[in-house]
Amino acid sequence: MTERPADELRDAAEHAGTGPAAEGPADPETGSGAVPGGNGGEALESRGSRGDEDGGDLRAEGTLRPRRSYLAGVVLRTFGRAGAVVGLAWLGVIAVFAVFGPWLASSHPYLWKVRTEDGSAAVSSPLVEHLGPADVTLLVLTLLVLPGLLVWRRASLGRRLGVLLLAAVVVGVSAWWFVQPPATVVYDRYRAAERAGQVEWVLRPPIPFSPSDRQRDRPEAKNLAPSSTHWMGTTVDGEDLASRMIHASRIALAVGFIATGIAVVIGVLLGGLMGYFSGWIDLLGMRLLEIFEAIPQLYLLLTIVAFIQRGPYMLYLMMVIIGLTSWTGYARFTRAEFLRLRRLDYITAARASGLPLGSILLRHMLPNGIAPVLVSASFGVASAILLEAFLSFLGLGLVDEPSWGQMLSQAVGAGGGFVWWIALYPGLAIFLTVFSYNLIGESLRDAIDPYTQKKAG
Amino acid sequence: MLSYILRRLLLMVPTLLGITAVVFFVMALSPGGVGGNLLNSEGEVESAQAQALREYYDRRYGLDQPKAVQYLRWLNRVSPIGFVTEASAEGETLGGFGFKAPDLGESFSKGRPVLDLYGEALPITLLLNAITTPLAYLVAIWTGTYAARYRGKAFDVVSGSGLMALWSVPTIWAGVLLIGFFANAQYPGLHWFPTGGLSSTDAGSMAFLPRWDDAGFARGWLLDRVWHLVLPVVCMTYGSFAVLSKLMRSAVLDNINADFVRTAKAKGLSGRVVLWRHAFRNSLLPLITVAAGLIPSLLAGSLIVEKIFSIPGMGQLMIEAIYARDRELVLAGTLLGGLISLVCILIADLCYVVADPRVSYD
C-alpha cells in the first residue's frame, strides 16, 4: 500500500504521456490527467495492494477514474474474458515448447557417462554441446532478461519492451557469434553406444528423439502408429512426430509474431503518415494500398515465394514476404484513426506548442490510434501462421525444418496412403493456435468497442 | 451515379497497372527469372541444343531485353489500345498505333493461348463459388438471426464460439482429413466420395440425368458432378459461416433495438412477425452488400481447395503456372484476379447505394 501504488501511478502517468488526451476514445470526459484527485484517493483505498484485475473491472464499469493509460485498460479488459484466457493458456503452452523444445525432445542425452575405447569413462552433456544459437538466445532471454524486466516495475511498459528487444538483439548476435554447435550430428551414436554397452548411465529428455533424427539404425521405425515409445507415432522418414511437433511450435510462433510485426510496422508507418498529412500523400498511399489489396494475397505470396531462391534462410524470407504482403489492413485502420485524431484539440495543442513531428505522431497519436491495429494484428498472427502452414503444405516453404504445415503434407502419401496420426496432430496444433489468436482478437475487439462495454455495464 | 462509376472505372487502370508491375518485377528480378524452368522441362537436352533453345526463347519472347522493355511490351500486348504487334520466331515487330484486340499471349509451359486456359478454368472456379456462397449465406442467416433472437442464451454462446472454432480450422487440415477418412480405400466403410477431380473418367459417356434401367442404377453426369463436389464445397463453406453469421447477428440486434420494431411490438404484433417480417428483412442489407466484397477472399479460398482436391480451376492453374515460372500465365492470372477483385469491390460499393437510399456518391 505504501510503495507499489505510487510506483504504478508514475507508471501510468508515463504511459499516458499526454494526460487527458491519452484517456482517449474510451472515456473522453474523465481524467484531468493520470494522477487522480480526491476521487482517485478512494480508488487507491478500494484497490488495496492486490488484484490488478479488480481495478480493471471497476474501471470498465466506469465507477472510478481510469488511472491507467487507455491501452493498459484495454489489455486488462481483454484478459478478463474467458475466451482470451483460454487462448492465452494455449499460447503459453506453445511458448514453453518454443523455448524449451531442445530440452523436452532431443536425441542428445542431458548427461551421460560413456566409456571410450581406451577404457576411461567420462561424463559429458551432449545436449548442451549441441544447443544452437537460437536455443541459447531464447533460453537466456526467458530465464534471465524476462524475470528481470518483470521485477523492474519502475519502468514503463514501452521502456520494458524496448529493453527486451535490445536484449534480444544483443544476446542473439553474440549467440550467433559464440555458440557454434557441431556441424555434423550423428543421432544414432547414442543408441549405438548403448547397444555396445559403453554407457554406464544416461539421463535423457522425456522424448529422446530429435526432430530430424531419422533413426537410420532402426529401419523398422518408419510410419509407426502412436505407441509408448513414439507418443504421436513416426513420420514416413522415421522421425518422431511428437518431437517435430514440439520443435515446430517455435517456427509457428516466430512466423506469426515476426511476419505480423513487419506488417504492423509498415502499415502503421504508412497509414499514420497518410492519415496525418492527408492531401496528396494520402492519395498516393491509397492507390498503393489498393494495388496490394486488389491482388489476392495468396496469389502474390505464391508468386514471390515460387520465384525466389530457396536456401537456408527460407524461414526468415517467408516471414518477410508474409509481412510485406499483409500490411494493408493495418495501414487502413491507422489512417482512419489518425484522420480522426488529427482534428482533436489535444493534437492542435501539441502542434501549437511546437512539439516535433515525431513526438506528435509517436507519443501522442499512436497510443490512441493503435487499438484497432492490435485487434487486427491478433487475427493477423493467426492468418500468418495459416499462410506459413499452407506454403509449407504446398512444398514452397520449409522443407527440412519441422513445420506443422509441412508435416500435414506428409499425411497423404504419394501412393495415396493416408496416415491418420500425421494428419491429426499437426492439424490440431495449427487449429488450436489459430483459434487461440482468434479468441484473443475477438476479446480485444469487444474490449475496445464502446458499444459492447455500454451493454455490459 | 454514372460519373461516379466512370471515375471508379478509370481509377482502376492505374491500380491494374500497379498490380501487373508489382508481379512482373517480382518475377523478373528473381534469380532464374522468367521462364527459368523452361529448359528443365525439356528434359535432357544437349548443351548446344539447350543453348539454341534458350536463344530461340529469348528472341521469341524478348527475354534478352531489359526488364522495363519486356514489361512495356507485355503491357502493349495486353492493352486494348496500343501498337499492333506481330510475333514471329524473329521476335515481335511493332506496327501502327490504334485500337486492337488485347492479347494475353501464349503459355510457355503448356503451349496454348493463355486466354483459352483461363477460359476453361474460370467457369470451374465460378461454379465452386456459386455453390458455396448461397450455402454459406443460408446457414449464416439462420444462425445469425437465432443468435440475435436468443441473445446471451445458450444458442447464442454455443453458435458463436462454435462457428468461431470452425472459422479457425485450417482448410488444408479439413481437406486432408476429409480426403483421408471419406475418400480412402483404407476405410471401406467410409469410402463415400472420390479423392478429387470434377467428374469420373467415364463421365463423358454418361446420360445427363440419373435413371433406373435393366442394368441397374446409373447415376448420370449431373449426379456424378454433385458427388465430386460434395467434399470441396464442404471444405470451402464452413469457414465463411462465422463472419457472415456475426454480421447477421449484429444487424438483427441493431434492428431489434430500433424504433420501428418497438412500434411494431406496441401495435401488438406477435414476436414471430416482428422478428421475421420487420427486423429480419432490414437486417439482410449488410449481408447483401458484403456479398460482392466476399468474392476476392473466396477466390483465394478456392485456390487451396482446388489444390487439395485437384480440381482444374483457376487456382490450380495459377499454382501450376507458378511452379513452371510461366510468365504469361502468372501475369494473366494476377491481372484477372485483380480485375475480378476490383470489379467486385466496385459492385459492393454500388450495392450500398442500391440497398440504402441514405448513401449517395454524387
DSSP string, B192-239: -S-SSSSS-TTGGGS-SS-EEETTEEE-HHHHHHHHHHHHHHHHHHGG
- The per-residue pLDDT of chain A, averaged, comes to 79
Residue-wise pLDDT tens digits, A32-85: 333 333 333 333 333 333 334 444 444 444 455 555 677 777 778 888 888 889
Residues making up chain A, counted from first to last: 457
Do A306 and B22 lie within an 8 Å CB cutoff? Answer: no
Compute, in degrees rounded to 10, the torsion defined by CA atoms B74, B78, B80, B86. Answer: 60
B residues 251-290 near A, CB within 8 Å? none
The pLDDT value given to residue A434 = 94
The pLDDT value given to residue B90 = 58
Residue-wise pLDDT tens digits, A130-173: 888 888 999 988 888 888 888 887 777 778 888 888 999 999 99
The fraction of chain A above a pLDDT of 70, given in percent, is 82
Give the least confident one: A154-158, A187-191, A367-371: A154-158
Please state the rounded mean pLDDT for residues A375-400. 88
The pLDDT value given to residue B47 = 67
Q: Which residues, at least 6 apart from A389, have a Cβ–Cβ distance to it below 8 Å?
A: A252, A403, A404, A405, A408, A430, B170, B172
Residue-wise pLDDT tens digits, A252-278: 999 999 999 999 999 999 999 999 988
Residue-wise pLDDT tens digits, A273-294: 999 988 889 888 988 888 888 7
What residues in A contact B297, CB-CB < 8 Å? Answer: 296
From the list A291, A389, A423, the residue facing B180 with the nearest CB is A423
CA A343 to chain centre: 34
The pLDDT value given to residue A31 = 36
SS3 assignment for A131-188 = CCHHHHHHHHHHHHHHHHHHHCCCCCHHHHHHHHHHHHHHHHHHHHHHCCCCCCCCCH
The pLDDT value given to residue B91 = 59
Q: Under a CB-based contact definition with an 8 Å cutoff, are residues B180 and B249 in contact?
A: no
The pLDDT value given to residue A7 = 42
Residue-wise pLDDT tens digits, B304-317: 899 888 898 888 88
Q: How far apart are CA A183 and CA A201, in angstroms?
A: 26
Confidence of residue B34 (pLDDT cuts 50, 70, 90): low
CA B170 to chain centre: 18
Give the least confident one: A60-74, A327-341, A389-403, B1-15: A60-74
Phi, psi for B34 (deg, rounded to 5): -60, 135
Helix (H) or strand (E) holding A271: helix A241-277
Q: How far apart are CA B198 and CA B133, in angstroms?
A: 19
The fraction of chain B above a pLDDT of 90, given in percent, is 9
Confidence of residue B45 (pLDDT cuts 50, 70, 90): low
The pLDDT value given to residue A44 = 37
A9 versus B154: the higher-pLDDT residue is B154
Q: How far apart are CA A371 and CA B262, in angstroms?
A: 35
Read off the DSSP letter of residue B184. -
What residues in A contact B249, CB-CB < 8 Å? Answer: none
Reduced to 3 states (helix: H, G, I; strand: E, B; else coil), residue B191 is coil
- The per-residue pLDDT of chain B, averaged, comes to 81
The pLDDT value given to residue A450 = 65
Do B14 and A287 lie within an 8 Å CB cutoff? Answer: yes
Nearest of B200, B217, B201, B219 to residue B209 by alpha carbon: B219
Do B164 and A418 lie within an 8 Å CB cutoff? Answer: no
The pLDDT value given to residue A16 = 40
Q: How far apart are CA B268 and CA B278, in angstroms?
A: 13
Neighbour-count burial for B4-38, b at 16+ CB within 10 Å, e otherwise: eeeebeeebeebbebbbebbbebbbebeeebbebb
B216-218 vs B211-213, strand pairing mode: antiparallel
Cβ neighbour number for residue A53 with a 10 Å cutoff: 12
pLDDT of B238 strictly over 70:
yes
Across-strand partners of A203? A111
Read off the DSSP letter of residue A24. G
B261 versus A4: the higher-pLDDT residue is B261
Do B334 and A293 lie within an 8 Å CB cutoff? Answer: no
pLDDT of A3 strictly over 50:
no
Confidence of residue A2 (pLDDT cuts 50, 70, 90): very low
The pLDDT value given to residue A416 = 62
Helix (H) or strand (E) holding A124: strand A121-124
The predicted complex's ipTM stands at 0.84
A140 versus A398: the higher-pLDDT residue is A140
B301 versus A422: the higher-pLDDT residue is A422
The pLDDT value given to residue B93 = 66
Residue-wise pLDDT tens digits, A18-30: 333 333 343 333 3
The pLDDT value given to residue A34 = 37
**Which of A223, A299, A321, A436 to mutate to probe the B interface, most B CBs <10 Å?**
A299
Read off the DSSP letter of residue A34. S
* pTM > 0.90: no
Give the least confident one: A364-373, B28-37, B309-318, B326-335: B28-37
Do A307 and B32 lie within an 8 Å CB cutoff? Answer: yes
CA distance to partner chain B, nearest, from residue A434 (Å): 6
Q: How far apart are CA B74 and CA B17, in angstroms?
A: 11
pLDDT of B297 strictly over 80:
no
The pLDDT value given to residue A57 = 45
The pLDDT value given to residue B144 = 92
The fraction of chain B above a pLDDT of 70, given in percent, is 87
Do B15 and A417 lie within an 8 Å CB cutoff? Answer: no
The pLDDT value given to residue B89 = 56
In terms of average pLDDT, the best of B117-121, B186-190, B192-196 is B117-121
Confidence of residue B30 (pLDDT cuts 50, 70, 90): low
The pLDDT value given to residue A93 = 95
The pLDDT value given to residue A46 = 39
**Which of B17, B108, B173 to mutate to probe the A interface, most A CBs <10 Å?**
B173
Please state the rounded mean pLDDT for residues A185-205. 86
> Using DSSP, how many helices (H) and how many strands (E) does chain A show?
23, 3
The angle formed by the CA atoms of residues A75, A78 and A83, to the nearest 5 degrees, is: 145
What residues in A contact B26, CB-CB < 8 Å? Answer: 300, 303-304, 307
pLDDT of A423 strictly over 70:
yes
CA dist list (Å): A176 to A101, A125, A172: 19, 21, 6
Do A390 and B304 lie within an 8 Å CB cutoff? Answer: yes
